[in-house]
Amino acid sequence: MARVFMKGCEAIAEAATRAGCRFFAGYPITPQNEIPEYFARRMPEVDGVFVQGESEVASVNMLYGAVQTGTRSMSSSSSTGISLYSEGISYCASARLPIVYVNVGRGGPGIGAIKPAQQDYKQATKASGNGGFEMIVLSPSTVQEAVDMTYEAFDLAERDMNPVLILTDGVIGTMMEPVELPPMKTPEEVAALKEARRAVSAVGHNPEEQVRILPGGVGGSFEPVNIAAAELYKSWTEKDVRVEEFMTEDAEIILTAYGISARIAKVVVKELREEGIKAGLIRPIALHPFPYKTYENIDFDRVKGILDVEMSIPAQMVWDVEHAVQGRCPIKECLRSGGEIMTKEKVLNAARELAKEVL
């Protein structure tokens, strides 16, 4: 398939369109603005619907309504805007609705900075809304991965009847790279996907039809619903863990990072190897479910230290890394935040200092 040169946000929107997304609602906020801009042009071309909501709250509730009809639906925002999605996402999780949404992260807290950051990790993986629901959270480190993850996210959402979040950052969202786009679903395929969810969609059923509407209303006991959801979440640890291990076979220090920070860390690993320092990289690709076993299975007789690299102060992913490592080796941090982008030099110097301390 031919490669095309695309900006991250636009590539995400095109991938969603090709996956059969036919409804998008969103509200402008930097650095994700190119996603709704692209959808505003693209949806009419495929008989889809684009709505610019009057707010993030309105947009996420439009998303709730659209996906109830069986239509593949999507939204996006950035950080502080995602906070306003929390109630709506929780409603979607309660009603077991297969929405897909994207967070193109910016600096924070509060309104923060419009420049890139990775300060929404805990929000994405631990507390996206009330009630303790969970989601698969995917995090790309290239524009190609952003395309592939977006395309697949709709299938994952419908497989589990559960929201899926793509957590990226302003670097991936605004940079341009060559990508191979996935195939465009035909109108017949899009119609078939919608028909497959007819039994649980609000489409005006005939009286004689046996209709199964999923839980999500008020009243009654939610405990059985929560138990079923817990079983779903547990299953992810067996089939949906995604992690990259780079040059870890003989590594004596491990760098760990996700998203754009992992991309920088991989370059650093190569340079450290040229200096004679045996470094490796562990990159969670799915942030939830987190690859705990990958860290638990590290040979700590050989690995003497871990460097956590994040564009977040304080560090956030490090909590999960520490939970897995259980104090079996020191964990140091290399951090930036508030829109200050991680640099190769900063990571390289931090890794050298770690090597001096532990090797």
Q: Are 105 and 168 in contact (CB under 8 A)?
A: yes
> Identical fold at 3-239 and 244-358?
yes
Q: Where are the domains of the chain?
A: 3-239, 244-358
**Sequential DSSP letters for 47-74:** T-EEEE-SSHHHHHHHHHHHHTTT--EE
Choosing among 3.40.50.970, 1.10.760.10, 2.60.40.1080, 3.40.190.10, the CATH entry for 3-239 is 3.40.50.970
- Over residues 225-252, the pLDDT tens digits come to 899 999 999 999 999 999 999 999 999 9
- Over residues 185-237, the pLDDT tens digits come to 999 999 999 999 888 787 776 767 666 555 555 556 778 889 999 999 999 99
Return the SS3 of 287: strand
Neighbours of 189 (CB within 10 A): 12
Mean pLDDT taken over the chain = 94
Q: Which CATH architecture has domain 244-358?
A: 3-Layer(aba) Sandwich (3.40)
pTM above 0.85, yes or no: yes
- Over residues 109-146, the pLDDT tens digits come to 998 889 999 999 999 999 999 999 999 999 999 999 99
- Over residues 273-330, the pLDDT tens digits come to 999 999 999 999 999 999 999 999 999 999 999 999 999 999 999 999 999 999 999 9
The pair phi, psi for residue 19, each rounded to 5°, is -80, -5
**Half-sphere CA count of 203, side-chain side, radius 13 A:** 15
Picking from 136, 146, 147, the residue whose alpha carbon sits closest to that of residue 168 is 146
Handedness of CA 116, 117, 121, 127 (dihedral sign): negative
DSSP state, residue 190:
H
Buried b (16+ CB within 10 A) or exposed e, 78-88: bbbbbbbbbeb
Q: What pLDDT score was predicted for residue 71?
A: 97
